[in-house]
Amino acid sequence: MTDAYSRTPRTTVKRRANRATYDRAQVHAILDEALIGSLATIIDGEPVVQPMIHARDGEEIILHGSAKNRMLGALEGGARACLSVTLLDGLVLGRSVPDHTFQYRSVAVHGLTRTVTDPAEKRERMRRVFSHIIARRWETLPPVDDDYLATVKVLILPLEECVAKVNVALPHEAPGDAVWSGLLPLALTAGAPTPMAGPQPPLPTELSGYDRRKR
């Protein structure tokens, strides 16, 4: 396995191509930090997109939802998928309109999915999704029964056609002091955990200081 994904016509970036990267480690890091993405496909000749929790499992992306989910059903039937995730890192504020942009990290994954039907693999893939969101959470919960598994569809999207796009630009240096120029950093942060009423065990360590970048 190489350190970079192969470029394809679908993953070749035309505009701002200097921001594109096929580095495997960077693609993985962005997918692992992101909690949610946008999953798109074509259904009955019309583009459809919806938010979707994802989790990376090695060189595969796990997608899951209701067994009645229309989009997952279309993907199961052979429709092509595109998953896009974006992390906003800052607002770049220049001294002119064209010099405004975002600092961001994004990934687009293209491909065909396969359906997980084996109950044991389904449980393991669902455990991986929970671990992506909250480490060790799955192990503290009651076991998932077959009735629940039957209501969930789990699909696997391979990490074969994918590209990351990263912008770390800062405002251009321009003379003048009439307009403030600089970077406004952005980050996803967690507030203090709020327990439900009633007896509670000690707060799990994975919830204290929860940080998507420290994974």
Domains of the chain, each with CATH number or no CATH: 17-172+181-185 (2.30.110.10)
pLDDT of residue 178: 84
Which residue carries 């200097």 as its tokens?
18
- In angstroms, rounded to a whole number, what is the distance separating the alpha carbons of residues 109 and 34? 14
The average pLDDT across 46-68 equals 96
For residue 214, the number of C-alpha atoms closer than 13 Å in the C-beta half-sphere is: 8
In the predicted model, is pLDDT for residue 180 greater than 70? yes
In the predicted model, is pLDDT for residue 177 greater than 80? no
User: Helix, strand, or coil here: 142?
Assistant: coil
In the predicted model, is pLDDT for residue 91 greater than 80? yes
pLDDT of residue 215: 63
The average pLDDT across 158-183 equals 90
In the predicted model, is pLDDT for residue 167 greater than 80? yes
Closest by CA position to 109, among listed 173, 158, 54: 158
| Secondary element (H or E) of residue 81 | strand 81-93
In the predicted model, is pLDDT for residue 213 greater than 90? no
